[in-house]
Each structure stands twice: as structure tokens, then as C-alpha cells.
A and B are shown apart, each in its own frame.
Chain A
């Protein structure tokens, strides 16, 4: 799935992926249902302006996305996917200056479903910030990631 990594890198670099355009993202790896990203938040991602910890909404957004990336990286044939359910536990606050490590993996993919799990950690210390799991439907209507329409990646 090196095409997929290249595609993600291109989009992040171009800032063409909505919120990801505002984040400093490094792709550590993305293959066979496992994805690892490093992300540097900034002041705009803070929950409070006088207490700059990362807003949980950003953590959810990151986990939702990386779960989708993990599912796509596990597919032999490009297909459209859709998030069905997401459950996130926010374990502790983290300062926006901390670089974050976001990792996800596909734990099972029976039939048309794919189940994922993942977590957000402080990259420097490994401290767990949030963890979650997500369920996806694979092969939904609509365009898929791939050669026909790479813009359809989540």
C-alpha cells in the first residue's frame, strides 16, 4: 500500500485534507492494517486559551481518521468505507506543545465490517492520553481510495 502512504503524504503536505492541512503530521508507517502517525498540535487546538491542553475533539478527529487509514491500508482492493461506531476514552490532559504519537490497527475484518483499535500517546514519554475503538463498514456506496479516485480517502 505504498501508493496509499504516498497519497496521504501528498495530501498532508498540500494541506488539502481539511483539518489535517493545519496539523504538522509525519507518517511513521501505514501498511497491512497498522498505521502510525506523529502529530504536533498547536495553540489553535487548545481546550482553553489560558490552560492550553489539547481539546478532546481533536483527539477524536485524529482517531476517527487513523482508524479509517488503518482499514484502507488493510484492503487488497480499494473500496469505500464508512465509520459506523466510535468509542473514545480520554484518560488525561496533554499540553498542546507535546508531540503526539497516534497509532491504530485493524483487529478483525469479518465480511463487510472492520474493527479497529488505537491510542494517542505523548511521543516523548509514551504516556497514554486517549484510547478507543471503531467499527467500519467496508464496501459502502460511493467512491473509494485508489486509482479511480484518490480524493475519496477519509
Chain B
């Protein structure tokens, strides 16, 4: 991914208070989008077993999807999905979370993305998701 692409993602993240609060960092994107969510104490969902909150994992995937959707639809800001379906496959630990988002089908109005999140081994995802985005043609 070009430096210009990285710069765009950084701008969109900075312009999105929730995405900034989450702390998502886009670090590479040979195809689709790859990012990392550095571990922070606020992301712990179960303090006893120190697992990440499932909603935080989902939110990270949604943010990644929103960034990729903006790029693929040629828009100038992070997008919100119309829907998300997520399966939690494994428990998480108090470590960084990696995410990858890939396009399944890019249409004129609709965009379908698939995403996965993992911690230590990308062959052992902790969560997988599909997201649908509608291209916004006017302000709602």
C-alpha cells in the first residue's frame, strides 16, 4: 500500500473520535486492509481471565471495514456498516489484536467484506466476520 494510502487512513482515523479512542492502527495492506489494535486496559472485558471484550473485537473489525469501504467506494471518510455478523471462535488474551479485512464483492451500491481477527497465529483466528456496506449517495 502506498504512503498516500496510509496517510488517508490515518486522516480518516483521526477524524473519527470513536476509531481514535479505540486506538486502531493500520500497519500494512497488500490486499484489503490490515491493522493492529494495541492492547490497552480499557479493552479488557473479563478482568479475571484478562480477555478482550467481544464488543471491542467486533468494533475493531467494524472500524477496519469502515476504512476499507471508504477507500473502495472512493469516499472521503470512514463508513458505517449496514450489518455485521461475527463469530467468536476462540478466547482472547490481554495482548494486541491483529485484524485483516478483505473485499468479497465490490458493487456500485453494495460492498461485502470479510474480516478476521487473531492474536498470536493468523491460522487461529479468534473471530471472523462478514460486513455489508451501502454506498452513501446523500446525507441521511
A side interface size, CB within 8 A: 44
**From residue A66, how far is it (CB to closest CB) to chain B in Å?**
10
**From residue B93, how far is it (CB to closest CB) to chain A in Å?**
12
Contact (Cβ within 8 A) A18 B43: yes
Contact (Cβ within 8 A) B48 A152: yes
Q: Does A154 lie at the interface of the complex (its beta carbon under 8 Å from any beta carbon of B)?
A: yes
B contact residues around A51 at 8 Å (CB): 139
B contact residues around A93 at 8 Å (CB): 80, 140
Q: Does A47 lie at the interface of the complex (its beta carbon under 8 Å from any beta carbon of B)?
A: yes
Contact (Cβ within 8 A) A49 B88: no
Q: Does A106 lie at the interface of the complex (its beta carbon under 8 Å from any beta carbon of B)?
A: no
B contact residues around A152 at 8 Å (CB): 46-49
B contact residues around A142 at 8 Å (CB): 46, 48-49, 91
Q: Does B53 lie at the interface of the complex (its beta carbon under 8 Å from any beta carbon of A)?
A: yes
* Chief secondary structure at chain A's binding surface: mixed
Q: Does B110 lie at the interface of the complex (its beta carbon under 8 Å from any beta carbon of A)?
A: no
Contact (Cβ within 8 A) A92 B140: yes
Separation of A83 and B54 alpha carbons in the complex (Å): 7
Contact (Cβ within 8 A) B83 A89: yes
Contact (Cβ within 8 A) B55 A48: no
Identify which of B48, B77, B81, B88 contacts A48 (C-beta below 8 A): B77
Contact with A along B48-90 (1 / 0, CB 8 A): 1100011110111011001000000000011011111111100
Contact (Cβ within 8 A) B15 A82: no
Contact (Cβ within 8 A) A154 B16: no
B binding-site residues for A, Cβ under 8 Å = 15-19, 21-22, 41-49, 53-56, 58-60, 62-63, 66, 77-78, 80-88, 91, 139-140
